[in-house]
Amino acid sequence: MNKLVIIFGGDGFCGWPTSLYLSKQGYDVVIVDNLSRRKIDEELGCKSLTPIQSIENRIKAWKDVTGKIIHFELEDISQNYNAILELLKKFKPSAVVHFAEQRAAPYSMKSQFQKRYTINNNINATHNILCAIVDSGLDIHMIHLGSTGVYGYSSVGLEIPEGYLKVKVDVNGEYKQMEIPYPPHPGSIYHLTKTMDSLIFGYYNKNDNLCITDLHQGIVWGTETNETSIDERLINRFDYDGDYGTVLNRFVMQAAIGHPITVHGTGGQTRAFIHIKDTVKCIRLAIENPPKKNDRVKIFNQTTEQHSVYELAKKISKLSGAKIRYFVNPRKEDRDNTLKVSSKSFLKLGLNPTKLNEGLMNEIHKIASKYENNCDKSKIICNSVWKKDMIVDTIGSETPIT
C-alpha cells in the first residue's frame, strides 16, 4: 500500500485536522475541496468563531512548521467528474477519504433551495467518486464519513450494531436467520443523503467489488487536535450558529460568552459523540485496516459515548454557572429516546477513547472566550424548522417544553 491519500473535503471541520494528522503520520496528502463551506458562511452571514486562515495560508503554515507539503486542488466533486478521474489517475492514491458533503441537518431543512442543494451535492459527490474509482481501473479503498443518525434513535433497548442486523425471518413457519443492513431511519434531508449513500456503496461493492468503509460517526465535539494547535494559522473552524453549530460545542461556547444554554424541547434526546482527536485517529485506523477484497461494505460505528442533551446542559451549567433555557424544538424528532451504540471495531483496533471530561470542556471554553468577539449573538438561536408550520422560538422558557 502506498501512503498517498486524497482527502475530499479536507478544508472542513473534520477534514482539516485529519489532513494534518495523516501528513504528520507520514502520509502524502492531497486535499480536494470546493470551499463551499466557506461560501455557506457568507450565505448565512456568519463565520467560524475561530479565525480560520485561507486554505493557501493553512498549507503554507503547515510547511513552515513541519516542512511537510500538502497538495490542494480546488474542485467541486459533485459537478466535475473528469477532474476526479484525472486526479485519481495522476496521484494513484491507495485510499480516498470522503468528507465532502453538506453536513448540517438544520441547514438541509431551511427551504427548498437547501434541500435540493444537499441532495444534489451529497449524492452526486458520493456517486462521482465511486464511478471514477471504477473508471480509473485502480485499486482504491474508499472511506466515507457517514452518521450514526442513519439508524434513527430507537428506544427498544437494542445496542445498535455496526451496520448489519441479525434477524430471524418466518419462512413457511420456520424461523431462519439472516443478516441485513440495519433499517435506515433518517430524520432530516441531510441524514436522508447518508442513508442513500449506503445504498450506493452496497451497489458498487456488489457490482464492481469496490473496497469501501463507511464510518457511522456520532456528533463530533472539541475543536483542536495536537496538530491544529501547533500554530494559530492552523486553527480549526468552530461552528456555533443555529445551523452548523453542534450541540456540545454550542453549549460550552454559550456558557463561555454568557448566553443561556439552548436546550430544544425537554433535552431528553440522546445522541452519540466522539472527540475530534479520536475522529482523526479513527480515520487512520480505517485506512490501515481495509476490508479484504470481495468483502461486503465494512461499517464502523465511529463514536465513543452517548449522552442526553439535558445531561450535557446540566454538566456544563454546573461547571460554568450558565443558565439553562428550553426552546420549542425546531426539529421533528422524538422528545426523548435512549441510545446504545456498539463501537467494538475501533476499540479492537486499539482506539483509546477520549471521553467527555472537564479538562476538555475547559479547553473549548477557553477557545470560545478567547474569540468571543467574533460571535454574532443573533446567529445563536436555531431558526431552521423541519416543517413550515413550526414556530421559531427566540425567547425560550425556564422549564422543559414537552
Q: What residues make contact with ligand USQ under the rule CB under 6 A?
A: 103-105, 147-149, 218-219, 246-247, 250, 262-264, 269, 271-272, 309, 329, 331, 333
Q: Which does 100 bind (CB under 5 to 8 A by kind): ligand NAD, ligand USQ, none?
A: ligand NAD
Does 77 contact ligand NAD by CB under 6 A? yes
Does 41 contact ligand NAD by CB under 6 A? no
Minimum Å distance from CB 358 to ligand NAD? 21
Separation CA 20–CA 214 (nearest Å): 21
Instruction: Please give the grid coordinates belonging to residue 249.
Output: 460545542
Minimum Å distance from CB 388 to ligand USQ? 18
Near ligand NAD by CB under 6 A, which window of 11-19, 106-114, 129-137, 381-389? 11-19
Does 250 contact ligand NAD by CB under 6 A? no
Does 280 contact ligand NAD by CB under 6 A? no
Comparing CB distances to ligand NAD, the nearer of 40 and 401 is: 40
Q: Which residues make Cβ contacts (< 8 Å) with residue 115, sequence separation at least 6?
A: 108, 109, 189
Q: Which of 219, 230, 349, 401 binds ligand NAD (CB under 6 A)?
A: 219
Comparing CB distances to ligand NAD, the nearer of 99 and 327 is: 99
Site string for ligand NAD, 336-375 (x = CB under 6 A): ----------------------------------------
DSSP codes joined into one string, 215-283: EEE-EEE----TTTTSSGGGPPP---STTT--HHHHHHHHHHHTPPEEEETTSB-EEEEEEHHHHHHHH
Separation CA 221–CA 364 (nearest Å): 9
Alpha carbon distance, N-terminus to C-terminus of the chain: 54
Residues shown for the chain = 402
Q: Which of 25, 66, 68, 76 binds ligand NAD (CB under 6 A)?
A: 76
Instruction: Please give the grid coordinates belonging to residue 91.
Output: 496521484
Q: Which does 250 bind (CB under 5 to 8 A by kind): ligand NAD, ligand USQ, none?
A: ligand USQ
Comparing CB distances to ligand USQ, the nearer of 97 and 247 is: 247
Contact (CB, 8 A) for 261 and 251? yes
Phi/psi zone of residue 92: left (φ > 0), alpha (ψ -120 to 50 degrees), beta? left
Site string for ligand NAD, 129-168 (x = CB under 6 A): ----------------x-x---------------------
Does 246 contact ligand NAD by CB under 6 A? yes
Instruction: Please give the grid coordinates belonging to residue 90.
Output: 495522476
Matching residue, cell 494513484: 92
Contact (CB, 8 A) for 228 and 235? yes
Q: Which of 5, 6, 7, 12 binds ligand NAD (CB under 6 A)?
A: 12
Site string for ligand NAD, 98-127 (x = CB under 6 A): -xxx-x-----------------x---x--
DSSP codes joined into one string, 296-361: PPEEEEE--EEEEHHHHHHHHHHHH-PPEEEE--SS---SB----B--HHHHHTT-------HHHH
What residue type is assigned to position 128 of the chain? N
Does 36 contact ligand NAD by CB under 6 A? yes
Q: Which does 264 bind (CB under 5 to 8 A by kind): ligand USQ, ligand NAD, none?
A: ligand USQ
Helix/strand/coil for 74: strand
Q: Which does 11 bind (CB under 5 to 8 A by kind): ligand NAD, ligand USQ, none?
A: ligand NAD
Separation CA 121–CA 125 (nearest Å): 6
Please identify the residue of the shown chain whose CB is closest to the bound ligand USQ. 149
Q: Which residues make Cβ contacts (< 8 Å) with residue 170, sequence separation at least 6?
A: none
Does 35 contact ligand NAD by CB under 6 A? yes
Minimum Å distance from CB 66 to ligand USQ? 29
Contact (CB, 8 A) for 263 and 210? no
Minimum Å distance from CB 250 to ligand NAD? 11
Q: Where do contacts with ligand NAD occur on this chain (CB under 6 A)?
A: 9, 11-15, 33-37, 76-78, 99-101, 103, 121, 125, 145, 147, 217, 219-220, 246
